[in-house]
């Protein structure tokens, strides 16, 4: 199961739901000109992940992760991973924020020593422009830069080694926008520093703009593996499953989800290709009430 994808998905769902609600309030082409623009303030409940508990397939507790936020519950300050038998965390990730932007993530080991850290830089528009990794001794390890087009969509990611020599270039191409107007990447092309393609990823979306499929292709264009995503057909639009398929279409692993009223993932069960359960992760949230202004016409 991809823990990263889950947290991403949770926020995505909340945000997508919010944007969709905004979009549905916009005037249609057939709107009567006599109607006037009005605004109303709405409270949008947003689930905020606070604890993640993993279990082995036999039900034995494996580990748990505690997330700590600032008082607004918007900025993640710390992510602590615990082994159930240990009082101190096995790993701590402390996030540093500056002017509302994530400035750094510092990873500590179980002895409290820095393992490595990421320092982030932003462009004038406030978009992530660079990510520099240093090891526990402060030595440069690698770095990344990001480039965006005029519309603000990321079009390139470059990876450099410790000496600043280019290692990899990844470019992004976008298709038709989703229902909320946001650009949807449809092709990701990965290249080596010489420009030779090392692989591509094709993405496909459903009519609702949700990612349905991701195909990983070899440099020669042959299919290597695929990921299939399924969602609940109606609100709260939570994900149902993610399947990882081999090139021949057989399932190599699968994660099934149970979602809450707000579309947040409550439980994820990982199984292998034969369906044997490998582990279960449960998620706990607090709900943050965000205030948004909706525009409507009457």
Partner 1 sequence: MKRLVPLLALLLIGSTLVFADETTEVYKRLFLQAQNLSQKYAEALNLVQLQDPSVAPVLSDALTQLLRTQENYGRPSDKALYASTVRVVAQALGDYKYLDAAPALWDSVQQIADPLVKADALIALGKMHATDYAERIALLLRDLDFKPTQDPDYGEKVAYGAIFALEKLRDIRGFSPVFFASVGWYSQRVRQEAAQALPNIVDDPTDPIMSIIQTESSDRKVLALRAELNSNAPNDRKIQASTYALSIGQKMAPTDPADARQLANLRKLALNALIVFKAKNPDAVPYCVYSYKNGYDSEERLLALAALGANGTDPAAAALSDIILRLDSDQQAGITGDTRDRMAKAAIENAGLTGNKLLKPALITVAADNNWSDGIILAAQKALKALP
Give the binding site for partner 1 (CB under 8 A).
1-5, 7-9, 11-12, 15-16, 19, 56, 60, 62, 76, 83, 85, 95, 102, 105, 107, 116, 118, 120, 126-128, 131, 133, 135, 141-142, 152-154, 157, 159, 161-162, 167-168, 170, 172, 178, 180, 182-185, 188, 190, 192, 198-199, 201, 203, 209-211, 214, 216, 227, 244, 278-279
Nearer to partner 1, 31 or 151 (CB): 151
Least distance between partner 1 and beta carbon 298 (Å): 27
Place of tokens 């399932």: 251
Nearer to partner 1, 35 or 68 (CB): 68
SS3 289: strand
Nearer to partner 1, 33 or 249 (CB): 249
Label residue 181 left, alpha or beta by phi (over 0 means left) and psi (-120 to 50 means alpha): left
Which has the closest alpha carbon to 188: 161, 240, 227, 142?
227
Tokens of 205: 């979306």
Q: Say if CB 293 and CB 38 are below 8 A apart.
A: no
Bridge partners of residue 131, in order along the sequence: 120, 144
Least distance between partner 1 and beta carbon 30 (Å): 27
Nearer to partner 1, 43 or 125 (CB): 125
Measured at the CA of 227, the angle between CA 263 and CA 238, to 5 degrees, comes to 5
Least distance between partner 1 and beta carbon 266 (Å): 19
SS3 11: helix
Q: Give the CA count within 13 Å in the CB-facing half-sphere of 61.
A: 10
Nearer to partner 1, 81 or 258 (CB): 81
Least distance between partner 1 and beta carbon 29 (Å): 23
Least distance between partner 1 and beta carbon 82 (Å): 13
Nearer to partner 1, 110 or 266 (CB): 110
H/E element holding 23?
Answer: helix 3-24
Q: Is 259 exposed, middle or buried (0-12, 13-18, 19+ CB in 10 A)?
A: buried
Q: Does the N-terminal peptide bond of residue 282 adopt cis geometry, omega within 30 degrees of 0?
A: no
Nearer to partner 1, 33 or 100 (CB): 100
Nearer to partner 1, 80 or 135 (CB): 135
Least distance between partner 1 and beta carbon 59 (Å): 12
Q: Say if CB 14 and CB 46 are below 8 A apart.
A: yes
Residue 234 CA: distances (Å) to CA of 24, 49, 177, 216, 259: 16, 22, 21, 29, 12
Least distance between partner 1 and beta carbon 185 (Å): 6
């Amino acid at each position: 199961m991809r823990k990263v994808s889950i947290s991403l998905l949770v926020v995505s769902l909340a945000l997508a739901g919010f944007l969709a609600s905004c979009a549905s309030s916009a005037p249609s082409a057939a709107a009567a000109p006599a109607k006037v623009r009005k605004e109303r303030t709405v409270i949008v409940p947003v689930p905020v992940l606070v604890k993640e508990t993993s279990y082995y397939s036999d039900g034995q507790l494996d580990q748990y992760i505690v997330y700590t936020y600032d008082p607004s519950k918007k900025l993640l300050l710390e992510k602590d991973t615990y082994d159930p038998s240990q009082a101190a965390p096995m790993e701590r990730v402390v996030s540093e924020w500056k002017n509302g932007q994530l400035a750094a993530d510092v990873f500590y080991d179980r002895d409290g020593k820095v393992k490595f850290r990421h320092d982030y830089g932003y462009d004038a528009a406030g978009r992530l422009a660079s990510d520099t990794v240093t090891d526990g001794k402060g030595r440069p390890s690698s770095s990344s830069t990001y480039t965006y087009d005029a519309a603000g969509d990321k079009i390139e990611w470059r990876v450099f080694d410790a000496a600043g020599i280019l290692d990899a270039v990844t470019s992004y191409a976008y298709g038709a926008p989703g229902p909320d107007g946001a650009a949807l990447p449809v092709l990701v092309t990965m290249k080596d520093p010489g420009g030779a393609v090392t692989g591509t990823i094709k993405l496909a979306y459903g009519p609702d703009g949700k990612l349905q499929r991701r195909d990983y292709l070899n440099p020669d264009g042959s299919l290597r593996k695929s990921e299939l995503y399924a969602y609940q057909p109606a609100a709260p639009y939570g994900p149902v499953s993610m399947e990882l398929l081999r090139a021949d279409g057989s399932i190599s692993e699968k994660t099934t989800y149970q979602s809450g009223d707000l579309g947040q993932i409550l439980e994820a069960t990982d199984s292998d290709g034969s369906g044997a359960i490998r582990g279960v992760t449960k998620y706990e949230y607090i709900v943050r009430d965000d205030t948004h202004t909706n525009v409507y016409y009457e």
